[in-house]
Amino acid sequence: MMSDMNWLSAKEMSAGFRSGELSPVEVLERSLARIETLDGRLNAMAHVSPQSARNEAEASAQRWKSGKPLGPLDGVPVAVKDLIPVAGMPLRFGSLASKDVPVLEDAPSVSHLRNGGAVIVGKTTTAEHGWKAVCRNDLTGVTRNPWNTECTPGGSSGGSAVAVATGMVALALGGDEGGSIRVPSSFCGIAGLKPTWGRVPLHQPAYCGTWSHVGPMARTVGDLALAMNVLAKPDSRDWESLPDDGVDYQTGLDAGAKGLRVAVSPGLGYVTLDPEVEAAVRAAAGQLSDLDAQVDEATPEIGNPIDPYYILVRLAARALVDSVPGGQQALLVEELRKDAADADNHTAMDVKYAEMEQRRLGAVMNRFFETFDVLVTATVAVPAFGAVDDDPSGRKRVGLGWTGTTYPFNFTRLPALSIPCGLTRDGLPIGLQIVGPRHGDAMVLRAARAYEAAVPGIGRPPID
């Protein structure tokens, strides 16, 4: 256990703390050493706070020694995406138009982690304000994929994915408004969950409103479940956060796939997939069938919701840009400023119709999940591409087609998880997306765990 400490799951760390074989102090020092060794090449961390982390690890060690841990994440090293406030650390949003000063209050999700004893190591890199599905910005530079450093790790939660994939931390928080947890989880070969909207409370303001999510990223599905037991609690600062439903996300996690009704639609009927990606997704669906799930080809009748989705995204861009002092708006990323400008062309009725379409699509998905328990798709249409590109063609984003299987489930507020389902011939991870009905997070985790338990893992990135 000691020699492989960076690769322990959060669950294994917790067991080691309980038995006395491990100490949170030892685990943290290995985490900090790993960051020191790798981050110069990968650029996953926007800010590291070793002294405060050491103080938290020492306090955790004392709690475990006295038999009074705060929960299963007590002492586990965690990193937080730099769009999420952490008291005592700067909140930069990956933007030059930000202040390098510590904030005074944790986001609700971070409060939950602290209340559970997690050790907050630092902040992870992101696309500026999360506005791209890749991970680079003018403040912190380019973040690189540990499976191939010439490639992007995906975004916008790219730094969190890299930190988890390389053993810098056991868990990380990401944010997801159109795929920003699932895309980098797919590209970096880890597991990442976008929970049901409202299940993990948000800090305010959330410019993307009813399709903005915070969720955990980990190397195992079991750790996602462990994290959800800590994160999935309401907070009065988010008046739309869901009440505590009392679900223990570890109960039933290993119930297997037998009897699950699984719909398979690799590209949702409108996304063209790379052949290797499609083959891997279909093979994963076949594995679920071998596990006695009832697997059928079926596509929900949602079409491509990019037009109504993007109307509301542009309005969020307008609000976000307007929140930045006028003299600094020119420092914001071009795509964000362009989306804000385009928002000015929309009428009030454009917005109303987009909101109505969001509700219609949500109802379509509700009806779909009367027949099926989960829906399986590709997470991303392509494997990871160039680290300085915005899309696989090397051009600036052209309709977001390569992330077309992710944003519909932000728009419809559904839980969706990415888990590795293979490697390309070039050794790049491929992600399988598992989607469930609203409030069906435990079902999604169960299906993902059944698949994870039945297939060999893809191994570790070749970065050491």
Inter-residue contact 259 to 294 (CB < 8 Å): yes
Residue 398: pLDDT band with limits 50, 70, 90: very low
In this predicted model, what pLDDT tens digit does every residue of 266-278 receive, in sequence order? 999 999 999 999 9
In this predicted model, what pLDDT tens digit does every residue of 20-69 receive, in sequence order? 999 999 999 999 999 999 999 999 999 999 999 999 999 999 999 999 99
- Per-residue pLDDT, averaged over 152-161, amounts to 98
Calpha distance 75→186 (Å, rounded): 27
pLDDT at 3: 59
Residues in the chain: 464
Domains and CATH numbers, the chain: 8-454 (3.90.1300.10)
User: Residue 65 has which token pair?
Assistant: 């020694």
pTM of the model: 0.97
User: Residue 196 has which token pair?
Assistant: 């049901």
In this predicted model, what pLDDT tens digit does every residue of 341-354 receive, in sequence order? 999 999 999 999 99
Catalytic residues: 81, 156, 180
Q: Identify the three-state secondary structure at position 21.
A: coil
pLDDT at 400: 64
In this predicted model, what pLDDT tens digit does every residue of 190-219 receive, in sequence order? 999 999 999 999 987 778 888 899 999 999
Across the chain, mean pLDDT equals 96
Give the H or E element holding residue 184. helix 182-188
Peptide bond into 109 cis (omega under 30): no
20: left (phi over 0), alpha (psi -120 to 50) or beta: left
Inter-residue contact 185 to 217 (CB < 8 Å): yes
Calpha distance 156→369 (Å, rounded): 29
In this predicted model, what pLDDT tens digit does every residue of 74-103 receive, in sequence order? 999 999 999 999 999 999 999 999 999 999
Q: Identify the three-state secondary structure at position 377.
A: strand
Q: Identify the three-state secondary structure at position 75.
A: coil
Secondary structure (H, E, C), 279-314: HHHHHHHHHHHHCCCEEEECCCCCCCCHHHHHHHHH
Nearest in space to 76 (alpha carbons), one of 37, 113, 125: 113
- Give me the DSSP letters along 192-229: EEEPSTTTS---S--TTGGG-EEEEEESSHHHHHHHHH
Calpha distance 127→201 (Å, rounded): 22
- Give me the DSSP letters along 412-461: TT--EEEEEEEE-TTS-EEEEEEE--TT-HHHHHHHHHHHHHHS------
Calpha distance 131→93 (Å, rounded): 10
